[in-house]
Amino acid sequence: MADQLPTDLNNAELIMYGLMVDAAYKGFAADEKQPIEPYGYDSVLSRQNEIAAACAGHSRYFATTYLYATIKPVEGLPFLDSALDKSYWFGYVAVSARADRLDIVVAWRGSVTPMDLVMDVHAELKPFDGDAAATGKVEEGFYNVYTSSMDSSKQKHGVLSAKQQVVKEVTRLVSYFREHPCIRVTMTGHSLGGALALMSAHDAAAALARYDHVQVRAVTFGAPRVGDEVFRNALENRNVKVVRVVVDKDPVPSMPPPNIGFVDVGDYNIKLVDDTSPLKQSPHSLGLYLRLLGLPQKQPGGSSSPAATTSTVDKGPKMVLESDGYARVPLHELERWILTPAARSRL
């Protein structure tokens, strides 16, 4: 590892965040299998997040909402228009109460669909947040995924962009639990999800700026370069700390190239060395990242991490479909599940 980790993050927690991102991939797969039901796959995330938390010795994380993204038509690629008539499941928000803080995690999956891959290579720089002088420019394809919304007649969910959804949810959570003495928001993602983590970290920090006790950071795995130097400075100005994890043989973190204006973003740069020969996994796969971080390999019976107990994985606060088309956990129910009576009495 090239850099030391920040004092409030250890290797076990890095693995935990990676597993939470892996849960986002599994959530997408579950959504594709049962696309009608907006919150019927919560047991997938519940099981995976209990496993993730167990790896770091922390309490369970409960998903509070799911995040969807739509993609605007791409000029010159009309043959992909059929892929634009739906929203795609891209991640979720989850919360856990630790002894020293309330921990909010936003986990984004990486590229899975053909449209995701098209956005990955749509590498022109575009003003972020409409003000290139203040917040810089970012890769147009990533920005498209993050900010696009579509007509309600084409959506199975609401019409909010991924950006609007994530800012709305973290603001809802922080506002409700604002009396908690320490709140941390971590955006995490792999590949394209790492790009979404950086952009959403900036916007969450901006939305939560009035709360002095709220810390926002990003933890990325195999993320590509997202924007220019002004965008990197905008993250610094919002006090967003970035932990950037890369594998030395992974080509994705080296793209897009710096000669067209892109820069690396990382306060803590963790380089993992893959010394296997020959490679048994793609150097970009999240599985390889987790293995190199120290996640145990699959044991007999197929398990690669601490087992979730069947008595608890299906227990937790349930989401309710709200009028804007998105399912969210009612805040009073979330409070009942994550805070002890002693903690509630301090709020």
- HEC profile of 235-302: HHHCCCEEEEEEECCCCHHHCCCHHHCCECCCCEEEEECCCCCCCCCCCCCHHHHHHHHCCCCCCCCC
Separation CA 268–CA 244 (nearest Å): 6
Give residue-wise pLDDT tens across range 58-78. 888 999 999 998 876 655 555
Task: Dump pLDDT digits (tens) for 288-335.
Answer: 999 999 987 653 333 344 444 444 445 688 899 999 989 999 999 999
- The model scores a pTM over 0.85: yes
Please state the φ and ψ torsions of residue 284, each to the nearest 5 degrees. -100, -5
Q: What was the pLDDT predicted at 282?
A: 87
Residue 89 has pLDDT above 90, yes or no: no
In percent, the amount of the chain with pLDDT more than 90 equals: 55
* pLDDT beyond 80 at 208: yes
Averaged pLDDT, 108-112: 87
What pLDDT score was predicted for residue 116? Answer: 55
62-69, strands of its sheet edge to edge? 268-272, 241-247, 214-221, 183-190, 102-108, 88-97, 62-69, 327-328, 320-321
**Does residue 13 or residue 88 have the better pLDDT?**
13
Which helix (H) or strand (E) is 104 found in, with range? strand 102-108
Provide mean pLDDT across the span 259-284.
Answer: 85
